[in-house]
Amino acid sequence: MSSKLYVAKVRSNVKKGVDLELGPRVLLVGPNGSGKTSVQNAIELATNGYATDVEGRVKVKVNHALGRLGPGDQLLWAEAELNDGTKASWKLRPNKKGGFHDPDVDVPQGVRVVFPVADVREVLSGSPETVRTWLMGRVASDLSEQDILDRLPDTLHAAYSASAKPFRQPGWSEIDVLLSVQEVAKKEARSAEADAKKARQMIEMMAEGLADEPTSAEIARAEKAVMDAENEYNDEVKRPRVYVPDTERLRSDAMEAVRLFQKASETAGLAKAAIPPMHPSEEALIEFRGKMADVAEVTANLKSQVCLVCDGPLGVMDISYKAKLLRNQNAAGAAAVQAAKIYKDKEQEATRLQAAALKLVEAFQNAEKMAQTVPQQPEVDLRALGDVVVQTRSHMNELKLQKRSWTNLRSAKDDVKSLGSKAARFEELVVAAADVVDELLKTAHKKFEKAVQAFLPAEDKFTMILVENKKPVCRMGFKRGSILHTALSGAEWARLTLALGCATYKPDEGTLAIFTPEERAFDSETLATVMNALYTAPGQVILQSPNFPDTTNLLAGWQIVKLG
């Protein structure tokens, strides 16, 4: 053991402080609060940056929780020196905001430090399936791909190899690959069955209301009907045509134009008759009388006795009456002028309508003459021909759509068959993989139990059950007589986790493994048997106890450190 790596010195200000020299196998003895856990936490912090059994958790890496292990708001530090002289250190500095900076970490190059017992405790806190999978990777870790294929049916070799390919990565054992393939096969089988169910539902929807499948001959006839209808329509469109004027429409337009002219002429006559007698220069007289009325009103307002225009005497005439008379004359003249304007507008409208009527009458007469000279042609309804084209195309497209629906329906049925075969193939792989797992467990089970038993006292008969009633389970404990006890005491679990950690750890030249369980109050004799069972542990062992061991039969090589 001395030739392998171990922590030779540890120093830290965790809790009450730590400053110890250690050997490959160490027993820390002291009452509660004497600093035993501080030694373990100091080593954990220096080498891996976490501490166990802090605030009731297996592993703690959160700065504010780790900070409570130190001296308040001061620097928290830990340093471990290995037996080869290399050092690992960790420092946690408080900041001004009441928290901490990121830790300063300094670890030796090429050295990895692991705590297998802590890893075992973390795994055992998971689900039975998690524990079973983890143990599977330990009891059958030396398998090769060919070992797996030899246990699978030949028909599944290709499926297994294809499914296993993505999982062949560094650090993965073949049992890890097998278990991953099993999970993937389960998912693929469920996915294929779900897709098949959707496809069956789609088939039901597609088949509902689907007409009989048309034959190729029916589609060919429909295509020919479309071609014939299109040719007939195109030939009629291209056929030369002689223009024949619409005489009936022209006659109707001419008669309407004549009626409008006659009505406008009558209206103009009535407007002319409504014009009262007036002077030829009535508009000029209106303007003149208006000005004279303005002068008369001003003269009356000024009460002048002479004319404002010629300075002549006004005599006895009432100038105000004169102004009123002029205004009345202007009102009558304005009405006459307005009536004359209305007449003029009506007369112009009648003239315009007369010209339009004459033009339409002439067009009608010319059309009648032309119609008598144009030969009669058969009438063809292009719109009806176009409707035939649309109808034949619609019928052809409907037949083709039905044909496509039937093709898709057959394809969907093929998909259902393919998906069913895929689901069955993966389900077969799941069952076969499970059989392989069970077979491997049977083969490696006793070997693993023996490996664990090697690190336990003789009175602790380790037993593990991974298959029960053909169902995967995970039960382990100590057998007392014919009964397997799985509800172990704290001390028994501490011994078991130590043994599991030792049995499942694979020694590595570049790895330092430290086996340190939770402190348990073993009696002196039991503590001695545990220490003897761990004498060949594949790493450094650091035990904690409030009691001294019975040294009567204790193997040499243990360093016993009394604390407190």
Give yes or no for a contact between 312 and 306, defined as CB atoms under 8 angstroms apart: yes
pLDDT given at position 132: 72
| Cα–Cα separations (whole angstroms), residue 190 to 98, 248, 430 | 52, 80, 11
pLDDT at 214 over 60: yes
132 or 529, higher pLDDT: 529
Position 557, amino acid: G
The CA distance from 236 to 215, in Å, is 32
Tokens standing for residue 423? 């689901």
SS3 330: helix
With a CB cutoff of 8 Å and minimum separation 6, the contacts of 4 are 24, 507, 539
Q: What is the largest CA-CA distance in the chain?
A: 172
485-519 pLDDT tens trace: 988 888 888 889 999 999 888 887 788 999 988 77
SS3 559: strand
Give yes or no for a contact between 441 and 481, defined as CB atoms under 8 angstroms apart: no
With a CB cutoff of 8 Å and minimum separation 6, the contacts of 408 are 206
26 or 343, higher pLDDT: 26
Under CATH, which architecture does the 7-126+454-562 domain have? 3-Layer(aba) Sandwich (3.40)
pLDDT given at position 141: 66
- Binned at pLDDT 50, 70 and 90, residue 1 comes out as very low
pLDDT given at position 422: 87
- Binned at pLDDT 50, 70 and 90, residue 361 comes out as very high
The CA distance from 84 to 415, in Å, is 66
Mean pLDDT confidence for 286-314: 78
With a CB cutoff of 8 Å and minimum separation 6, the contacts of 60 are 50, 51, 52, 54, 66
SS3 329: helix
pLDDT at 277 over 90: no
Residue 488, CB-side half-sphere exposure with 13 Å CA sphere? 21
The CA distance from 253 to 229, in Å, is 38
pLDDT at 133 over 80: no
Tokens standing for residue 432? 């076969």
Position 161, amino acid: S
| Cα–Cα separations (whole angstroms), residue 465 to 454, 486, 516 | 18, 11, 26
- Binned at pLDDT 50, 70 and 90, residue 401 comes out as very high
Mean pLDDT confidence for 45-59: 76
Mean pLDDT confidence for 383-390: 91
- What ranges in 454-558 are assigned the alpha helix state H? 490-504, 524-533
The CA distance from 514 to 82, in Å, is 12
By the 10 Å C-beta count (0-12 exposed, 13-18 middle, 19+ buried), 403 is classed as middle
The CA distance from 423 to 131, in Å, is 28
CB count in 10 Å sphere of residue 552: 8
pLDDT given at position 331: 87
Give yes or no for a contact between 45 and 12, defined as CB atoms under 8 angstroms apart: yes
Spatial CA neighbour of 362 closest among 220, 497, 257 = 257
Question: Phi, psi (5° rounding) for residue 527?
Answer: -60, -40
Spatial CA neighbour of 36 closest among 14, 65, 5, 64 = 14
- Binned at pLDDT 50, 70 and 90, residue 462 comes out as very high
pLDDT given at position 494: 86
The CA distance from 433 to 149, in Å, is 10
| Cα–Cα separations (whole angstroms), residue 435 to 138, 212, 327, 441 | 18, 50, 128, 10
238-269 pLDDT tens trace: 877 666 678 889 899 989 999 999 999 999 88
Beta bridge partners of 512: 113
Spatial CA neighbour of 532 closest among 470, 478, 456 = 456
Give yes or no for a contact between 211 and 402, defined as CB atoms under 8 angstroms apart: yes
93-113 pLDDT tens trace: 988 887 888 899 988 888 889
Spatial CA neighbour of 167 closest among 142, 185, 140 = 185
Spatial CA neighbour of 126 closest among 513, 474, 452 = 474
Torsion of CA 14, 19, 24, 27, to 10 degrees: -70
Mean pLDDT confidence for 436-461: 84
Of the chain, the percentage scoring pLDDT greater than 90 comes to: 31
Spatial CA neighbour of 177 closest among 162, 156, 190, 195 = 162
Q: Which residue has the tokens 């002196």?
A: 524
pLDDT given at position 259: 93
Q: Considering only 48-52, 238-242, 463-467, which range has the smallest mean pLDDT?
A: 238-242
Give yes or no for a contact between 91 and 75, defined as CB atoms under 8 angstroms apart: yes
Predicted TM-score (pTM) above 0.75: no
What's the chain's average pLDDT? 86
pLDDT at 123 over 80: yes
Of the chain, the percentage scoring pLDDT greater than 70 comes to: 93
303-347 pLDDT tens trace: 777 776 666 666 545 778 888 888 888 888 888 888 889 989 999
- Binned at pLDDT 50, 70 and 90, residue 55 comes out as low
60-83 pLDDT tens trace: 778 788 888 887 778 999 999 999
H or E segment and range at residue 9:
strand 7-12
The CA distance from 470 to 349, in Å, is 112
Q: What is the distance, to the nearest Å, from the Cα of residue 213 to the centroid of all Cα atoms in its chain? A: 41
| Cα–Cα separations (whole angstroms), residue 241 to 170, 246, 327 | 88, 15, 73
